[in-house]
Structure 1
């Protein structure tokens, strides 16, 4: 990933640039669509900060889920207003949507003001469960109260350290973890793509599903194939 020095500030700055409250200026723009970042900042009440890069050491890679540049981020507020966010991205380490303003400053949007987001036309919405705190998931597919979700989480792998001198031999590095989840009513749990899902998720249409899988040469362990199977099941 390029511009790691830009991205490291995302982790450092967001903790002090969090929003205060969830309504604020929303009433000023109800029923409108904002194309101005300034309007979006005010209306979403995010009160971000412009902070320089102040790293004690370097972290290679990025906590952002999407490449820099060319992203289309639309935030839909709780009142239904759409906000187009320039240079938008999703920080998968701290679960926040951001706008990368320049090489040394970013703006953090208030998650409490957001109903859902469209990140490059991918819908992302907050879900929570008994064992999972509320965070944004990408909605891959849905059928009534059942949602197939993808969680993106950025973590840091520690760099190398010389055991004798305690000097760093390599930088820490961000890495992205992607996991599938299923939301069924109030339950939210991890989803492992295995053959037994056929009888677990599609028990009432198991015969039709097995026929569909065979005729279309699908593998339920493959994410794209699984989504085709789930979407077909939704039509039955």
Structure 2
């Protein structure tokens, strides 16, 4: 497979892990087409006229495990999530990145974050919490705000990338959008509303903070 051959020229950190154990794979051994994902090389162009980045992490010093649709694990470094294109890219050189094909990927562990793919949308979501019959998902989105021209100096400020993320409650096949607000969250958890309110108050949690949201739903799963 031509993409795998390209990877072998640049990647020195890939390890192949299968259900029957972990296999240390040197680059010359990455030849089993069915076990790996396809992808493409693109130029890593940095536009100095735009502040911010389309990538989730500012630095590329990451560790990741990609699980393919064949349930094979690829362990590698320098992986990042491109929010704009909803894809995962590995940086093997200063001026180019390797973009993995989404259709070949089932799940990605990127540092401490776990991304799962909803096949109905062919899109990735970060999984924040998992319950007996639900998942709390984070959908990363990015907005490009155009620069503004100064009426006096006539100089235009840089455009800017900013994240505009959304949260979803996945219950069986139903995907429900909700906001980090008390009313929106309690509407989802109305069957245990009173206990949730007591838990939030006693533990001094906030409905507006993601880290507290995770604690809240983990508690909900126990009651």
* TM-score class, shorter: 0.7 to 0.9
d(CA) in 2 for partners of 1:75 and 1:40? 17
2:91 aligned partner: 100
Q: Describe the shift of the 1:88–1:161 C-alpha distance in structure 2 as closer, same or farther (beyond 3 A).
A: same
Quote the offset at 1:115 in angstroms. 0.9
d(CA) in 2 for partners of 1:172 and 1:105? 23
d(CA) in 2 for partners of 1:153 and 1:36? 36
Which 5+ residue runs of structure 2 have no aligned equivalent? 4-15
Higher mean C-alpha deviation, range 187-196 or range 106-115: 187-196
Aligned length: 205
In the alignment, structure 1 residue 175 sits paired with structure 2 residue 162: yes
Which 5+ residue runs of structure 1 have no aligned equivalent? 1-16, 18-27
1:84 aligned partner: 75
In the alignment, structure 1 residue 217 sits paired with structure 2 residue 209: no
Quote the offset at 1:221 in angstroms. 2.9
Give TM-score, length-normalised by structure 2.
Answer: 0.75
Q: Describe the shift of the 1:195–1:97 C-alpha distance in structure 2 as closer, same or farther (beyond 3 A).
A: same
Higher relative contact order (CA 8 A, sep 6+): 1
Q: What is the SS of the residue equivalent to 2:182?
A: coil
2:40 aligned partner: 48
Among candidates 128, 136, 140, match of residue 128 of structure 2: 140
- Structure with the bigger percentage of strand: 2
Q: Describe the shift of the 1:37–1:176 C-alpha distance in structure 2 as closer, same or farther (beyond 3 A).
A: farther
1:4 aligned partner: none
Which deviations, in whole Å up to 9, do the C-alpha atoms of 1:123-180 show, x marking residues without a partner?
A: 1011267xxx4311110002133111111122322224589xxx97233332222222
- Output the aligned Cα RMSD: 3.4
1:233 aligned partner: 220
Quote the offset at 1:230 in angstroms. 1.2
1:208 aligned partner: 195
